Chain A
Amino acid sequence: MANGTWKIARNRSGAQLPIALLAALAIALILIGKAQNPLFDRARTTVTDWASPVLRIARAPLDGLDRWMGSIGEIFSVYQENLRLKDENARLRQWRNAAVALEDRVKRYQLLLRAVPDPKLSSVMARVIGRSNQPFLQTMILDAGKRQGIKPGQAVIDARGMIGRIFLAGNYTSWVILLTDLNSRIPVNIEPGNTQAIMAGDNSGAPVLDLLSQRVVLKPGAQVVSSGDGGLLPPGLAIGTVVENSTGGYRVALLADPGASDDVNVVDFKLKTEQPPATTANELPATAAGLPPAAPPQPAPVAAPLASAPAPAVKPTPAAPPSPPPAKPSAAAQEPPTSDTGNE
């Protein structure tokens, strides 16, 4: 360990000039990265795409060890934890019964109101092949990428709740930014009360709640769900519960544990673009001005066939009549959603 024994290479010929130049280059890189240059991201996803088979192989034997090491702190509280889980399980059974009854009632109300049910979300299942716990970044790497339909911005959930969002998607792998990460900002709703807030990660285990209204007082234990504002995330994804901060603010105790999740779902959510109602012939400006509606364009005359070529069998399509006023919803559209409970 003694450094005094080392002979130093005294090669100081202008080492500080390269340092200054390279430091300037590094700062330029930081600024370029801030401007969302995709070059570095592409290089990163290429590296993980290339290394994903190695990661999968290396992860298999280390999975058990990883889980065991991660739960070292829980060894001494297994008995207490078991009692707590039994108690929680009994309470959850009661809640499950209540939830089934409420779900049934909601379905009946939907039938009465002929409400359009929420669209079902499709999702892609992916396996976690890597976790990075750097001081300034907390990420996971999944074994699914663009080829599986993964896109940046999609929500990543496990069986308990939301874990994070996709922020980089390669062809076969994708990077997830966790909700606890410094860069994570999610618009959320706090139930009951429908209070809106922004949940911001700060690299601690419980993200901070930035309330949009300062006069709101939250109750610890209130449910935090995604609000869907901005259209990136689906509304209503379970995230966590409100806990009070020692400084008077609020934080979110997350339901999901990214450290223990091996299989996750990437939710494919895209807000349908709102279609304007179809324009009728009477609403056209020419008709409104008392002029006859313009005739639809006639198909171009078929060019004279060559002598050797056979005559084309295509008939010119007749001019389409002007579109009728919007019809009433079809019977299929009016039909209420069928319930699978059989209580109707």
Chain B
Amino acid sequence: MERAANIMAGRFLSSIVPVAFGILGVLIANFPISILGGLVPPALLVFMPLYFWAMVRPDLMTPFWAFVLGILQDLLSGGPAGVWAASFLAAYFLIDRQRDMLAGLSGIGAVAGFAVAALTACLTAYAIVAVYYWHLPPAAPMLLQLAMTVLFYIPGVVLLGFVHRRLVGPYRSEF
């Protein structure tokens, strides 16, 4: 009985880890203190756990959680509500359709796969903002943010992989 309770607790813990990492990413990236003096926009840290677990554990990182993380990102970044929510869903759609291909990538290819998904999210956000304000915003800050995000993904995926192996694990039906 006690063992079953432990297993249940462990499963619950593993199920909240992806979303918890997403929320942590939103909080860190939008903490309004820049250690680079505002030279570059902050990396889209929330997108790393979103991409990673939407690819390997879509049962834990569902479209609903992608939407919630997007709303949080909108709320804390100060932008219009719904922009990042829609952008993350667009990227989620891509990941969902190309999951086998993306999960099969390794090395530079894995980073490139992430970059394509992040580019989808950023381009969607750019398009929405352009329509929202009826004015083309400069692309350089968005490209800088994309570059920072991809740069941070290289150490980030190592950490996420470690957490996935230790805390989350593969989907139960795969055993």
Residues of A in contact with B (beta carbons under 8 Å apart): 1-4, 6-12, 15-16, 18-19, 22-23, 25-30, 32-34, 40, 43-44, 47, 55, 58-59, 62, 65-67, 69-72, 129-137, 139, 141, 175, 182-183, 202-204, 259
Contacts and interface: CB of A to CB of B under 8 A. Distances in A.
Interface in B48-94: 55-60, 62-64, 66-67, 70-71, 74-83, 85-86, 89-90, 92-93
A40 B83 CA distance: 13
Contact of A11 (B59, B81, B144, B154): B59
Interface string B140-175: 011011000000001001100100100000110110
Contacts of A66: 33-35, 37
Given A18-B64, A26-B86, A135-B141, 5 more contacts: A2-B110, A9-B57, A10-B173, A29-B85, A135-B137
11 contacts: A6-B164, A9-B171, A16-B93, A16-B96, A26-B82, A55-B32, A55-B33, A58-B33, A133-B34, A133-B141, A136-B142
A134 B56 CA distance: 29
B111 A11 contact: no
Contacts of A18: 62-64
B136 to A, nearest CB: 9
B13 interface: no
Nearest to B144: A135
B17 interface: no
B113 A3 contact: yes
Given A10-B171, A23-B89, A30 B138 contact: no
B63 A131 contact: no
B36 interface: yes
Contact of B78 (A1, A4, A59, A175): A175
A167 B41 CA distance: 21
Contacts of B86: 23, 26-27, 30
Contacts of B67: 22, 25-26
B138 A202 contact: yes
B75 A47 contact: yes
Contacts of A131: 32-34, 38
A56 to B, nearest CB: 11
Nearest to B90: A23
A67, A130, A132, A204 interface centre (most CB from chain B within 10 Å): A132
Contacts of B63: 15, 18-19, 22
